[in-house]
Structure 1
């Protein structure tokens, strides 16, 4: 049986653009949850490492749903076994891989430029999964100015246009040149006599196990989106290459939809939204005032009815907390027990039971049981959220029965 290629020298790391490979199964053992852990002589599927997520693909058509590094081995996780010693055709999910290559290589570029031109070191970085998400780099500065962001982005894209080569190399662990390589150190379980480094010609040499583009021109473009401060550092959010194309398509679709909804052009979106928000606040305030007046009228009507009912059960689909409190305050002051519910006529909503303290404390949990909710309270109030407002009638019967008792 052939020996396993060490994890730092996998085919995928030497030939990052290859999409398939024929290899041989070295071992296949049962894992947890019905999984099988398969080790091959070599693989075109990258195991998670260096901040880069693992690849997806197939082994003889069998889906690989995870690839991890275990010491010097790359372990492929599948839902079915493969025969040890058998030949295996490995195919990669190229869309996912190339996206990771672009985002990871973009991180190297941004990190190098931020360090060289501004003296900001990269403390960590995060490559998000999915082409709609944003990656970020954590820089060791509490603040990044707009001018600095513009400078970093401009320089990165100038280097992309120049098509600067980006090349993986292997150094002996005893090579003194390793001392000059940018590195966060080798993992504790590292095995082997060679270390993989990635060079951006004339700019940076970085110890890294990830897959990368061969030329910065393959990044297409770098877009720095925004930055935010975090505990003395700055998180710099970015996207690269195809993610920018996807972002542009989504932005245009949103622009087109907003043009139609707001009946204005893109340049007027902000003004139109601010106007709509202002009108919404005015309308909301008017509605709250009307609800308060309705609650006051209901209180007045109940108190001046003859004979006065000792229990008031009120429901309002469009009610809110203030509506419930106005009802409770106005009626309990005159000795009336109040059950107020707000929300739809059935389904979820809110409830407030108010009245004599001992009575409310005893009946509050029972009302919640009837309406299928949770809540609490004190001093003559019991309030919470419920999921079965259609049982309001049963809750009212419970109150009236216990009032008689």
Structure 2
């Protein structure tokens, strides 16, 4: 096993370094090298791994496994080879901002309302924490956000110390540490004391800003979505572009966009209601025309028709309207689509004939599935025969 010196703990701002490859290997994730020392942070504690280059070869992931820090490469280098390492600094500093921001936000929740953070995820665009509470109000979120940004504005130092378990009593930790020896604490004096192995800037001012984006319930907890630093500007840029486009489309100034959208939604609901009424009138007219084609068989009025690519909801509506109009009617609709056949069987209250039984026989013909009851049944299956053939079979069952 090759132990690697962790330069990122000596100085989180190291961007380039020179070292030697002490081991090469391959595991289920791919080919990797182990270095004598490294500035690449391996994934852990909710923070993603660094990326960058070794002798110009891309480092695509870094993981700590079996006590080794394994650098997975796009192209394997040789053991003993001297390498120049370069960190993708934009990615690293972004992670430093987000991780430090999470510490500040979690501490603000704990200090202001005693809401404890139970998990943390640093995503590519958005960061989230889960609070051990079912609900948070908008007023509480605003207050916590203000506290967090005040800590940033004060540009407090962010310090790290290494301690052993017997020395932990000296520090008012926000939560218990997950390790029992050689413990790394990240400290914002007089505000937050927390065990953490991640990378952080040297002061809160470098976090720049924190913005809470929203919340959701997750397993009876509250998930908080937020961004820090450069991601705040990116969110502002994206939302400003959306707002600018909305003002153009709505021909309204920014301050009137919300009210204009509300008016459009009300108008749309009114139009939808009107269209639904028109649609029902058209379907009623079509159903009435179909009734004129009904065939009298015994004491029943039988209507059968094959449709192509029709909405099942429309066919259901017509079948139900027709059987309500004529309680001795029996309706069989077959609908052909590109890949399947669908059937609807309906009857009025005076028809002593099981629609479920007819539908079941039709579905057997096309290896389909469905269900229903005495007066209404439906289903669908393979388009293995023509719709007219299936309709003829249905009518033969009726006769």
For the aligned pair, the TM-score class normalised by the smaller chain equals 0.7 to 0.9
Q: Which residue of 2 aligns with 1:109?
A: 104
Q: Which residue of 2 aligns with 1:118?
A: 113
Q: Distance in 2 between matches of 1:366 and 1:261?
A: 53
1:1-22 CA-to-partner distances (Å, cap 9, x unmatched) read x95236xxx1123222222322
Q: Distance in 1 between matches of 2:278 and 2:341?
A: 20
Write the mapping of 1:52-201 to structure 2, written as runs, cut at 5 A.
52-127=47-122, 129-131=123-125, 133=126, 135-176=127-168, 180-187=172-179, 194-201=182-189
Q: Distance in 1 between matches of 2:332 and 2:2?
A: 82
Aligned partners of 2:332 and 2:345 also within 8 Å: yes
Q: Judging changes above 3 Å, is the alpha-carbon distance between structure 1 residues 268 and 384 closer, same or farther for their aligned structure 2 residues?
A: farther
Aligned partners of 2:330 and 2:345 also within 8 Å: no
Structure number with the higher strand fraction is: 2
State whether structure 2 residue 247 is matched by structure 1 residue 251: no
Q: Judging changes above 3 Å, is the alpha-carbon distance between structure 1 residues 112 and 11 closer, same or farther for their aligned structure 2 residues?
A: same
Aligned-residue offset at 1:242: 0.9
Write the mapping of 1:7-22 to structure 2, written as runs, cut at 5 A.
10-22=6-18
Q: Distance in 2 between matches of 1:352 and 1:402?
A: 10
What runs of 5+ residues in structure 1 fail to find an aligned partner?
none
Q: Which residue of 1 aligns with 2:213?
A: 225
Q: Which residue of 2 aligns with 1:337?
A: 332
Q: 2:193 aligns with which of 205, 230, 238?
A: 205
Q: Judging changes above 3 Å, is the alpha-carbon distance between structure 1 residues 351 and 12 closer, same or farther for their aligned structure 2 residues?
A: farther
Write the mapping of 1:303-314 to structure 2, written as runs, cut at 5 A.
303-305=291-293, 310-314=303-307
Q: Judging changes above 3 Å, is the alpha-carbon distance between structure 1 residues 259 and 354 closer, same or farther for their aligned structure 2 residues?
A: same
Aligned partners of 1:56 and 1:93 also within 8 Å: yes
What runs of 5+ residues in structure 2 fail to find an aligned partner?
297-301, 347-354
Aligned length: 378
Q: Which residue of 2 aligns with 1:31?
A: 27
Aligned-residue offset at 1:53: 1.8
Q: 1:381 aligns with which of 374, 377, 382?
A: 377
Structure whose CA Rg is larger: 2
Q: Distance in 1 between matches of 2:175 and 2:155?
A: 24
Q: Which residue of 2 aligns with 1:4?
A: 3
Aligned-residue offset at 1:347: 5.7
Is the partner of 2:47 in helix, strand or coil? Answer: coil
Is the partner of 2:372 in helix, strand or coil? Answer: coil
Q: Which residue of 2 aligns with 1:326?
A: 317
How big is the alpha-carbon RMSD for the aligned residues of Structure 1 and Structure 2? Answer: 3.3
Aligned partners of 1:324 and 1:352 also within 8 Å: no
Write the mapping of 1:240-279 to structure 2, written as runs, cut at 5 A.
240-279=228-267
Q: Distance in 2 between matches of 1:232 and 1:354?
A: 45
Q: Which residue of 1 aligns with 2:349?
A: none
The TM-score, its normalising length taken from structure 1, stands at 0.80
Q: Which residue of 1 aligns with 2:387?
A: 395
Q: Distance in 1 between matches of 2:380 and 2:230?
A: 48
Aligned-residue offset at 1:259: 0.8
Aligned partners of 1:50 and 1:210 also within 8 Å: yes
Q: Judging changes above 3 Å, is the alpha-carbon distance between structure 1 residues 255 and 70 closer, same or farther for their aligned structure 2 residues?
A: same
